[in-house]
Amino acid sequence: MDAVPLRATPGPTAGHHFSSLQTCPHKAWSDYFLPGNLKAEPPGFLLAMQREGLAHEEAICQALFPGAVRIPERLAGEERQRQTIAAMRTGAPAILQAYLSAEGRVGIADVLELVGLATESPTGFLYRVGEFKRAQKLMVAHVLQAAWYAELLGGIQGHSITEVFFVLGDGSRLTVPLAETSTIFAAQKILLDKLRTPAARPGPHLCKACLSCPWRSVCIPELIAAEHVSLLPGISRVTAERLRDDHGITRWPQLGAATNQQLQDYGIAPRDWPHLRAAASRLYAGQAVTRQPLNQATLRGLSAMSIEFGSSPVGSPGTPPPPEAVWLENPDAAPTRIGIAADGTTDLTPVTARNPVVVYGTTELAVTHRLLRAAGAPGPQVIDLLALIEDVVHAPLRGLELGQVTEYVRPSLRSPADGPGRLAAMRAVINWLAGDGGTAA
Amino acid sequence: MDVASLQDFLRRERQANRAEAALTAMLAEEALIDRGECLVDLAITRRQRGAVVLACPVNESRFRPGTRLDLVCGGSRLSGVITDITERGLLLHLRVERSVDALPTGPWTARESDIDLSFLVSQCLARLQPGAPGWSFFSTLAGGEPLSRPVATLPGSTTAVIDQVIADAGRTLDSSQRVVLDHCAALPSVYGIQGPPGTGKTMVLALAAETLARLGRRVMVVAPTHQAVNNALSAIHGFFPGRPLVKVGDELRRESLADAIPCRPVREATQGLPPRQHRELIVGMTFVSALHNQALRSSGLVPNAVLIDEAGQLPLVQGACAGLFGAGVTLLFGDDAQLPPVFAADVAEDPLAVSLFQRLRQAHPALIARLNTTYRMNGPLCGITAAEFYPGGEEPLRPCPTVAGNRFTLVGAELPEGLPPEVVSAEPSLVWLQTPDVHSRQANDWEAEAIARVLAHCLHHGKTVRDVAVVTPFRKQAALIRQRIQRLLPADADLPIVDTVERVQGLTVDLIAISLAASDPDFVTGVAGFLFSPNRLNVAISRARTKVIVACSPMLLEVVPADYAAFRGRESLRRVLEGCRES
């Protein structure tokens, strides 16, 4: 960690810090102190979700706030703030991308909606905060984020705000009273303030959220180098802190080698010992560490399959590329390439003869289901290997893309670029899950 | 909501279920045991014609009575239905086509039989077209105006029928029950009756069925499960033994059905009845059977009135087809503040992943009436339940005066050793046993030990196993508590019910102990939606007449769930527990 340069001063607290803190305190600290160029590429699904989120936001703006003033995002913060306040003073019915800031604090609200005149307010009008969310259910982080904007807005208009509203993915408008979350909001502001010093660094801890965290390329190597106890599944943050503070245990080999008596003394229940020891021995051997044991024979019997995609039609960059072929692995021979006609028809007989088959990721899964439906044949069971890994693997992976998994499983494999390459990579991952060695953590 | 969106939901749900099954198939036996999908030490206990009854001595499976299972052990395969669960084992009633002499003891991998209803439901949805049968009911759910609403004033002849039905049943109704019964007799096209715990929903259903039958309507009673159908028909029979009743379905699924009620295939439903009585017959069946048996239309049994029990557990995508039964009156009985239907995780957040009852509330809240007097919970427990789970409404949920003052009592004055006296005292009615640990996940030794001692104390001081029960969110914790209770009781003693909340819905006991078990903040965050579900807490608390003990760590109230609904559930739990502290 010494080699990672920190920012001299933390960035201002913004709405996203509340969501980071809820996921992992180390993520919130990293948001303050790590330079942006250390962020890992967002996984494909996250990029897709972000794109969909922006499109949703745009649609909502056009439908609900057609005459709104929009604060340009390309301007400097001070100018955005100035334009926001100017729009508030004119009593604009709605202000999109409203920039709100104060000393060390910043927030960009999706919309400020006019409530009415307020002669006692320095801006002359009162506004409420609204946020657009593509999700159909509300998260606590959404509410805390909106509460943060409401606090900043309250400072500008000189009038505290008691509720915020959300427009959710199904178009419904939901008003949330801020009193419900006021205690948590106050507590999280204090926690975030405490994290604004380099010394308050909580330290990384391996969890499911690491797989899509932007700081994973910094934290994961650190966890591996430190042989961190969280590499063992079931060791939560509170347990790791207790092991460190009460027993000086920080490394997984210390737990793996502990006697029954020691484990008892560490407060680990006997029912968890076998699983913990099995995980430690798999870490030693470089095998997949899983949250639940897998059926190795069934795994080895899976047939890997991949979809070869063409290019997006010229002039339609947003259109998904069409599937052009199916690649299917053969046990003792080169993979089979099955072409897909332009109208989407294909002969999937070789695929339907296998059961189950495994693909990688939701895009391949959806295309496979579509092709099987079009073929009209009773399809084989299709398993998404990515979903299986996400569900059961507890390993310091740098992401869920196939290349990121193979990088951990078998670094000698190049990042798979074509059908046969993807099949080879998937086979390596399947065998790793089924008990073959990979990279020792 | 339109038919296309329901069809799309159905397709996505099927895909999600298949994906979940595919991932489960990758797990090792050890993981399946952990997930409650393996049965161990299975043995034959009884043989019947064409069927065998199997039991396993330790039940740690996740399956509920009524579940149809496929069992695999090496090369051996069996399939059957769970007919009962006792505290000393899981009982499976299996119909097998070949003789079963000896069985491998297992472990048997158990999977819910892949009876894919999506094709049937999809076909039914496809029949919902403007002007066709079923469209009116569907369009009401979609927000359209119902053909007829309940009316306040009934003809004198109808009122006389209702009075006679009540008199024949030997019951006195409270005001909310009478209003609901009057509304049912007014023949509304759609009407919902919400029955909070202990408010007499099943009795009102029985009275409504009888009233409608006496008003010349052909009545059909349906529900999502055999158990619910059996309960409803048995209740009708209990109040009106002269009413001809038949359950359409397999004799093997009669379970708790009153002996006098025959189980028959649909074509033989009227067997033995003179033709003039066909119209008087009340037919019961599961909702899925009813969808299958739309041949009812040609059998002369097409109903004029359909009563759907447990409509709060019937998925909308199925329930939306209820109009296809052809009845002009559809009455939904249920409670959307109790357990909802279960959906695959990938579609669980979809706006269509709701129950039929919930959908009616979304579309037409004014078409739902709530029964408001509980005959089960005492004053303090009813107060907590009313405030947290049944706010609003024209009149608040209240206890019947005869139970309001009830308090928990034991024989003798001894106190359980090492536990606070209030766990067995008359006051307070709700007690928080604060668990002193912050790193438990699905099993919590401290809570298991404490609860076992409370229950053993109760059983030693005048209570029976039918008077007390334990609810916990996790099967591991249920097994641990059972184990601890067994240690404190004689080897052959019966055990009280110790199970997850799904199993205890419908149960009534004096004392309920709730063990939330989890306290590790990371783990709690991951299961917060489930752990803090207000519906589950409502069902758990409201099983008790006089005493509720909640064992959980104060750490639970410190965890901030990611999901806002789970956060609100946590706040609900906080208010309940803080109420304990204040009392």
Query: In this predicted complex, what is the ipTM?
Result: 0.85
Q: Are A406 and A422 spatial neighbours (Cβ–Cβ below 8 Å)?
A: no
Alpha-carbon distance A124 to B303, whole Å? 65
Q: What is the arithmetic mean of pLDDT over A107-112?
A: 94
Angle of helix A140-157 relative to helix A15-23, nearest 10 degrees? 150
Sorted by sequence, the CB contacts under 8 Å of residue B434 that are 6+ apart come out as B552, B553, B554
Determine the Cα–Cα distance for residues B236 and B3; give it in Å rounded to an integer: 35
Task: Judge: A387–B441 Cβ closer than 8 Å, yes or no.
Answer: no
Interface probe with B: pick from A143, A239, A296, most Cβ of B within 10 Å: A239
Contacts of A138 in chain B (CB under 8 A): 563-565
Q: Is the pLDDT of residue B381 over 80?
A: yes
Q: How far is the C-alpha of A222 from the C-alpha of B581, rounded, in Å?
A: 45
Q: With contact defined as beta carbons under 8 Å apart, do B419 and B451 qualify?
A: no
| Spatial contact of A34 and A6, defined as CB atoms under 8 Å apart | yes
Closest CA to B231 of B195, B272, B280: B195
Contact B508, B545 (CB under 8 A): yes
B contacts of A381 (beta carbons < 8 Å): 18, 21-22, 25
Range from A177-191, B78-92, B307-321 carrying the lowest mean pLDDT: B78-92
Beta strands B509-515 and B468-471 are: parallel
Cβ–Cβ < 8 Å for B371, B194: yes
pLDDT at res. B323: 92
pLDDT at B582 over 50: no
CA distance A249 to A253: 9
Which residues from chain A sit within 8 angstroms of residue B22, using beta carbons? Answer: 356, 381-384
- How many C-beta atoms lie closer than 10 Å to residue A114's C-beta? 16
CB contact under 8 A, A22 and B15: no
> Does residue A85 have a pLDDT over 60?
yes
What count of CB pairs under 8 Å joins A to B? Answer: 100
Contact A22 B562 (CB under 8 A): yes
Q: Which of A22, A142, A381 sits opposite B560 (nearest CB)?
A: A22
Residue B198: pLDDT band (50, 70, 90) is: very high
A136 vs chain B: nearest CA distance in angstroms?
Answer: 7
Domain coordinates of chain A in residue numbers? 44-190, 208-285, 296-314+321-433
Nearest chain B residue to A142, by CA: B564
pLDDT (average), residues A429-434? 87
* Distance in Å, alpha carbon of B523 to nearest chain A alpha carbon: 8
B418 φ, ψ (degrees, to nearest 5): 75, 5
Please report which confidence band the pLDDT of residue B313 belongs to, taking 50, 70 and 90 as the band edges. very high
Those residues whose C-beta lies under 8 Å from the C-beta of residue B524, and which sit 6 or more positions away, are: B518, B531, B555, B556, B559, B561
A271 contacts in chain B (CB < 8 Å): 443
Q: Which of A267, A365, A383 sits opposite B26 (nearest CB)?
A: A383
Top pLDDT among B402 and B105 is at: B402
Is-contact A73 A122, C-beta < 8 A? no
Of B18, B28, B520, the CB nearest to A295: B28
Q: How far is CA B460 from CA B411, B454, B484, B493, in A?
A: 9, 10, 15, 12
Mutation pick from B519, B520, B564, B578 vs chain A, by most beta carbons of A within 10 Å, is B564
Asked if residue A317 has pLDDT above 60, the reply is no
- In chain B, which residue's Cα lies nearest the Cα of A171? B351
User: Cα Rg for chain B, rounded, in angstroms?
Assistant: 24
Q: Residue B311 in contact with residue B356, Cβ under 8 Å?
A: yes
Q: Is the pLDDT of residue A412 over 80?
A: no
Using CB atoms within 10 A of its CB, is residue B48 exposed (0-12), middle (13-18) or buried (19+)?
exposed
Looking at residues A351-364, what average pLDDT do you find? 84
Q: What is the pLDDT of residue B258?
A: 87
Distance (Å, whole) CA B74 – CA B236: 46
The answer to whether the Cβ–Cβ distance between B564 and A383 falls below 8 Å is no
10 Å CB burial of residue B348 (0-12, 13-18, 19+) is middle
B445 CB within 8 Å of a chain A CB: yes
Between B92 and A278, whose confidence is greater?
A278
Contact A294 B28 (CB under 8 A): yes
Query: What's the first-to-final CA gap in chain B, in angstroms?
Result: 46
Residue B30 pLDDT more than 90? Answer: no
* Distance between CA atoms of residues B413 and A259, nearest Å: 46
Q: pLDDT class for A161, splitting at 50, 70, 90?
A: confident
Give yes or no for B49 touching A (CB within 8 A).
no
Say if residues B397 and B196 touch (Cβ distance below 8 Å): yes
Say what the pLDDT of residue B297 is: 60
Please count the other Cβ atoms lying within 10 Å of the Cβ belonging to residue B133: 17
Question: Who's near A293: CB < 8 A, 6+ residues apart?
Answer: A278, B27, B28, B30, B31
Q: E strands of B472-543, at which residues?
A: 497-499, 509-515
In angstroms, the CA A148 to CA A164 distance is 10
pLDDT band at residue A439 using 50, 70 and 90 as cut-offs: very low
Q: Which of A46-60, A130-144, A161-175 has the lowest mean pLDDT?
A: A46-60
What pLDDT is recorded for position A440?
A: 41
B185 and B164 Cβ atoms separated by less than 8 Å: no
Q: Which two tokens stand for residue A344?
A: 């989407």
Q: Is B255 left (phi over 0), alpha (psi -120 to 50) or beta?
A: left
Q: How confident is the model at residue A234 (pLDDT cuts 50, 70, 90)?
A: confident
Report CB contact under 8 Å: B28, A180. no
Q: Band the pLDDT of A18: cuts 50, 70, 90.
A: very high
Q: What would the mean pLDDT of A197-221 be, rounded to a whole number? A: 90
- What confidence score (pLDDT) does residue A441 get? 38
pLDDT band at B583 (very low <50, low <70, confident <90, very high): very low
Q: What is the mean pLDDT of residues A160-171?
A: 88
Return the higher-pLDDT residue of B268 and A262: A262
**Residue in chain B nearest A185 by alpha carbon:** B560
A104-108, B43-47, B237-241, B526-530: which range is least confident on average?
B43-47
pLDDT over 80 at B253, yes or no: no
Cβ <8 Å between B25 and A237 = no
Q: What is the pLDDT at residue A364? A: 87
Instruction: Tell if the CB–CB gap between B23 and A387 is shorter than 8 Å.
Output: yes
B24 Cα to chain A: minimum distance (Å): 9
Using a 10 angstrom Cβ sphere, with 0-12 exposed, 13-18 middle and 19 or more buried, the burial of residue B539 is buried
Please, where are the H alpha helices in A314-353?
Answer: 349-352
Say yes or no: B563 contacts chain A, CB-CB below 8 A: yes
A interface with B, Cβ–Cβ < 8 A, is: 22, 135-143, 170, 176, 180-181, 184, 188, 207, 234, 236-239, 242, 267, 269, 271, 292-296, 298-299, 356, 365, 369, 381-384, 387-388, 391-392
In chain A, the residue whose alpha carbon lies closest to the alpha carbon of B20 is A383
**B101 in A contact zone (CB under 8 Å):** no
Phi, psi of A231 (to 5 degrees): -70, -15
- Helix (H) / strand (E) element for A275: namely helix A273-285
Cβ distance of A294 and B439 shorter than 8 Å: no
CB-based contact, B26 to chain A, within 8 Å? yes
Compute the distance between CA of residue A150 and CA of residue A147 in angstroms, rounded to an integer: 5
Nearest to A25 by CA among A180, A341, A279, A240: A240
Alpha carbons B234 and B228: distance in angstroms, whole number: 10
Q: Report the Cα A29 to chain-centroid distance in Å.
A: 17
* Main-chain phi, psi angles of B162, to 5 degrees: -60, -45
Q: For A296-314+321-433, which CATH class?
A: alpha beta
Q: How far apart are CA A384 and CA B326, in angstroms?
A: 43
- Asked if residue A313 has pLDDT above 80, the reply is no
What's the pTM?
A: 0.86
Residue B66 — left, alpha, or beta (φ > 0 → left; ψ -120 to 50 → alpha)?
left
- The pLDDT mean for chain B works out to 87
- Most confident segment among A92-101, A263-272, B146-155, B387-396: A92-101
Average pLDDT over residues A380-406: 85
Question: pLDDT at residue B581 above 60?
Answer: no
Contact A142 B568 (CB under 8 A): no
Give the gap in angstroms from C-alpha A316 to the nearest C-alpha of chain B: 27
Question: What's the pLDDT at B114?
Answer: 61
The shortest CB-CB distance from B565 to any of A137, A242, A384 is to A137
A contact test, residue of B60, B354, B522, B572 with most A CBs within 10 A: B522
**Residues A385-389: contacts with CB within 8 Å, 24+ apart?**
A385/A358, A385/A359, A385/A360, A385/A426, A385/A429, A385/A430, A386/A360, A386/A361, A386/A362, A387/A362, A387/B19, A387/B23, A388/A433, A388/B23, A388/B26, A389/A429, A389/A433
A42 upstream amide cis, omega within 30 of 0: no
Distance of residue B563 Cα from the nearest chain A Cα, in angstroms = 4
Rounded to a whole number of angstroms, the distance from the CA of B15 to the nearest CA of chain A is 9
Contact A294 B563 (CB under 8 A): no
Percent of chain A with pLDDT strictly greater than 70: 94
Provide the token pair at B552: 């959980």
B543/B536 Cα distance (integer angstroms)? 11
Residue to test with chain B: of A263, A383, A385, A390, most B Cβ within 10 A? A383
Contact present, B125 and B6 (Cβ < 8 Å): yes
Are A242 and B29 within 8 A, CB to CB? no
The answer to whether the CB atoms of A383 and B18 lie below 8 A apart is no
**CA B495/CA B500 separation, integer angstroms:** 15
Could you give the CA distance from residue A191 to residue A26 in angstroms, rounded to a whole number? 12
Averaged confidence pLDDT in chain A: 87
In angstroms, how far is CA A21 from the centroid of its own chain?
14
Contact yes or no for B18 and A293 at CB 8 A: no
Is the pLDDT confidence value at B347 over 70?
Answer: yes
* A146-150, A383-387, B31-35: least confidently modelled range: B31-35
Distance of alpha carbon A5 from alpha carbon B437, whole angstroms: 39
Share of chain B above pLDDT 90, in %: 51
* B565 lies within 8 A of chain A by CB: yes
Neighbours of B154 (CB within 10 A): 17
Alpha carbon A413 to its chain centroid, in Å, reads 25
Residue of A203, A225, A276 whose CA lies nearest to A396 = A225
Nearest alpha carbon to residue A189 among A305, A104, A294: A104
Among residues A336, A139, A299, A26, the alpha carbon closest in space to that of B525 is found at A139
Task: Please name the residue of chain A whose CA is at the shortest distance from the CA of residue B350.
Answer: A136
Contact (CB<8Å) B565/A138? yes
Chain B residue at shortest CA distance from A268: B439
Is B527 within 8 Å of chain A by CB?
Answer: no
- How far from each other are the two terminal CA atoms of chain A, in whole angstroms? 17
**Nearest-CA distance from A439 to chain B in Å?**
22
